[in-house]
Amino acid sequence: MAAASEPGYLAFLSIGAYVAVLVATFALARRWQRATCSFLASIAIVGIVFLGWSWVHGISALPGKLVGSPEAQFAFRVGFPSSVLGTVLFVVCLAPSPARFRDGTVKSIVAEFICRIFVTYLLSAIVGMIAYTVVTGYVK
């Protein structure tokens, strides 16, 4: 049995927790779409404010590290994931369910959630690269 301190075990747990949060978010958006989208939009706005604050205070990036004051680094580390995930989840939750996923069966709900998780990963990569490049000025 693997020990809890092994990196692979922790990575597996973090991916499982991330997928569980996505599924819970999509389930809430399926039932209460306006409230969930409003909450996600507020998270995205707060993240964008933190990113703007870190950008104004001169955050920049070098290969493998952030350069700037500790406050700017903290604002970036909080603002980047919340702005990217908040924006992407807002867009994904805002989209209506396709007609073939609306029959209410477990199979259609699981298929819809898998499609939404895939789109979330794809959009997160795109939005994340754009946000990182714009805020830090670092292009790999």
pLDDT at 100 over 90: no
Q: Is 55 helix (H, G, I), strand (E, B) or coil?
A: helix
| Structure token digits, residue 2 | 């693997």
Domain count, the chain: 1
What's residue 2's pLDDT?
53
Q: How much is the mean pLDDT over the chain? A: 89
What pLDDT sits at residue 61?
A: 85
- Read off the pLDDT band of 9 (50, 70, 90): confident
Q: Given this model, what pLDDT does residue 45 score?
A: 97
Confidence grade of residue 13 (pLDDT, cut at 50, 70, 90): confident
Q: CB 46: neighbour CB atoms within 10 A?
A: 15
Q: How far apart are CA 30 and CA 33, in angstroms?
A: 6
Query: Is residue 93, in this structure, part of any structural domain at all?
Result: yes
Q: Is residue 117 part of a domain?
A: yes
Contact of 92 with 119, CB cutoff 8 Å: yes
Please report whether residue 82 resides in a domain: yes
The answer, yes or no, to whether residue 116 has pLDDT greater than 90, is yes
Which SS3 state, helix, strand or coil, does residue 32 take? coil
Q: Which residues form the domain of 91?
A: 7-136
Instruction: Judge whether 2 lies within some domain.
Output: no
Q: Look at residue 1 and tell me if it is in a domain.
A: no
Secondary structure of the chain: what % helix, strand, coil (to 5)?
A: 75, 5, 20
Q: Is 70 within the bounds of a domain?
A: yes
77 found inside a domain = yes
| pTM, full prediction | 0.84
In a domain, 73, yes or no: yes
CB 79 within 8 A of CB 47: yes
